[in-house]
Amino acid sequence: MSARPGSPPTMRPSALPPPPPASYEQARRQGQVDGCWTVGDLARLLGVERRWVQWQITAGRIPVRKHPLTNHHLIADDPHLIARLRIQVAAHHRS
């Protein structure tokens, strides 16, 4: 990082800060973030309330990872997981 005297230091591209959380919001509006469902988007997909998805996460029934910038839960777009959750939702609605 060399700069002329009196000018601000230049940054290498690899040293740039991470993108602002706005990129997370933009991706979330598209339905997925980094190829994963958000809690709200998975809830909409399944036709349940967000708190039902949160409860499944807390109970260990839905594996999650945390988004590195926002710390929000991200759920893998796994067809087997989605199918299993749809069965659970249907069973819950029947009871």
32-77 per-position pLDDT tens digit: 777 899 999 999 999 999 999 999 999 999 999 998 888 889 999 9
Domain ranges of the chain: 24-94
pLDDT of 83 higher than 60: yes
* pLDDT, position 19: 56
pLDDT of residue 53: 96
Report pLDDT digits (tens) over 71-81: 889 999 999 99
pLDDT of residue 11: 53
CATH number of this structure's domain 24-94, picked from the four choices 2.60.40.420, 3.40.50.1000, 3.90.1150.10, 1.10.1660.10: 1.10.1660.10
pTM value? 0.66
Q: In one letter, which amino acid is 58?
A: T
